[in-house]
Chains A and B, each alone.
Chain A
């Protein structure tokens, strides 16, 4: 019977964790790790929250994402030429327009 208390405690803890109110995911939490994310966080968040990027989720293809990256560089974002395509690839892969969408 001594095993019963730890078992019940573990069950209670599991239920408590599962039923706790979920924390609202921050935009950076929604994005998978990768070189693109590193550039995104390093280059964009000094000017604006990442929600200004994630709000376009599902709307842009790669060329449109690239256009945004270039526009932001014109605004002064510290992204170098080598990083442009890495970032465009990352944004297109994780926030891009779904395949087949028009």
Chain B
């Protein structure tokens, strides 16, 4: 009897898992930094599957783990927009303590962290249940990008003005250590087999490449410069916002690191963990910016902000498979799974 009930329960759980896996939708959430709209791209078809309107000069994006709510920072309004995942309508605007830049969400979806770039700099903390700002963590310098490490244990905030990266304990909100004396730009994380953070790859002001940070040692252990492999007459002279390399991501399977170059209008790929440059960089025909992957690591999406395009690239072959026209000056992007 007990065995029969157990089998039924197991079968039900299996069906539920299969059903939710089948119905889950992956969306590339693409902000447009000089517009008031955000595009949702369906990676199955590489077409626009939805549009969120009314978020002027949107900067950062985040989504709850189940995709039921999206969050976008608006530099123009200095608010965080809460957007319903089904209707794609803004349901609330949460006032922030200053001009926001990029945002991130905790692994459990309980908190959204908003980088405040206005001096003196802070990370505003939003409770995703009450949809209220519950805290503001003081920082040394305006915050451009804020991340949650893949294990959910730490916040990592980068400041251009403060010229440092700050690692914060996610439980106590207390800063633990800092690094660099250079403007800190986008970064991405490599994990150990147990999910803890192994290395951070960090882009810096005026650096055409990235720094390698050993998380355990809390120090920079190397720096890689991107190749100068484009004929001089084809090199874009900028301006690049003092950031010639401003887009970086470790694929979810942890096998490759992708790094964009604005002057070369290319994306370069490195194997992990050995950081060996792989052949066949992908030409993008514009100034590349942010990157995001599908959860299965099969596709990477890269914006070129001066052509208003998102490029879908097959990770295995490093070939472009689609170009998707989006809004004005697309920059930050994330991958959301809607269940």
Contacts and interface: CB of A to CB of B under 8 A. Distances in A.
Contacts of A80: none
Contacts of A64: 78, 99
B118 A74 contact: no
A49 B239 contact: yes
Contacts, number: 52
A82 to B, nearest CB: 19
B57 A55 contact: yes
Contacts of A51: 34, 329
B241 interface: yes
Interface string A25-37: 0000000000000
B34 A74 contact: no
26 contacts: A45-B239, A47-B239, A47-B240, A47-B242, A48-B241, A51-B329, A52-B34, A55-B34, A55-B57, A56-B57, A59-B56, A59-B76, A59-B77, A64-B78, A64-B99, A67-B99, A67-B118, A67-B119, A71-B99, A71-B117, A74-B141, A75-B160, A75-B161, A75-B242, A76-B205, A76-B242
A70 B117 CA distance: 11
Nearest to A58: B76
Contacts of B56: 59
A59 B242 CA distance: 25
A47 B99 CA distance: 20
Interface residues of B, number: 25
B100 interface: no
A46 interface: yes
Given A49-B239, A74-B161, A59 B57 contact: yes
A13 to B, nearest CB: 36
Interface of B is mostly: loop
Counting from the closest, the 8 A-B pairs by CB-CB distance are: A74-B161, A59-B76, A55-B34, A48-B241, A47-B242, A67-B118, A47-B239, A75-B160
Contact of A68 (B99, B162, B241, B329): B99
Given A47-B239, A47-B241, A59-B77, A71 B34 contact: no
A35 B329 CA distance: 29
B202 to A, nearest CB: 17
A46 B239 contact: yes
A47 B241 CA distance: 4
Interface string B143-186: 00000000000000000111000000000000000000001000
A71 B160 CA distance: 9
Contacts of B118: 67, 71
B286 interface: no
Contacts of B240: 47
Contacts of B329: 51, 55
Contacts of B98: 67
Contacts of A48: 239, 241
B76 A70 contact: no
B142 interface: yes
B239 A71 contact: no
Contacts of B119: 67, 70-71, 74
